[in-house]
Amino acid sequence: MAVIVILLSLFSLVFAPTLAGKAMGLKGGLGKGALVGLVSLGLMQVIGMLGRYVGPLGDFVALLGGIAAWFQVVKVVHGTDTANTVVFMFWHLFFLVLSSSLLALLFGAASVGWFFG
């Protein structure tokens, strides 16, 4: 059961940016969505690991750095302007929270509690 939940959550990490791109009418499919989802996740993890050594504001610095890295990844991969990039980030977050909430409803919140942080 845990393996199924992990695989479905990884699928939602890849599929949420794809749905966001389709909602905005951007070119590209699952490949660009996977690139945005996985590279953004990796950069946020690395920045978060480094941010905890900064001091008392390390979490805040890691959050800002993660958002900046996410913004740059979306901007480079899709080639959008600033306004479309921010709208894409909203849709990406919307579909990610929607899919993780659906997983929590289907499998129980305790099974996917790690997904939220």
pLDDT at 85: 92
Higher pLDDT, 73 or 51: 73
| pLDDT tens string 4-17 | 877 888 888 888 89
| pLDDT tens string 76-102 | 998 889 999 999 999 999 998 888 888
Query: 84-89 contacts: CB < 8 A, separation 24 or more?
Result: 84/24, 87/24, 88/17, 88/20, 88/21, 88/24, 88/26
Question: Which of the four pLDDT bands, split at 50, 70 and 90, describes residue 114?
Answer: low
pLDDT at 59 over 90: no
pLDDT at 109: 66
How many domains does one find in the chain?
A: 1
What range defines the domain where residue 87 resides?
2-116
pLDDT at 116 over 60: no
pLDDT at 48: 84
Burial of 6 (0-12, 13-18, 19+ CB in 10 A): middle
Q: Quick one: DSSP state of residue 112?
A: S
pLDDT at 19 over 70: yes
Percent of the chain with pLDDT over 70: 91
Angle formed by the axes of helices 30-51 and 2-24, to 10°?
110
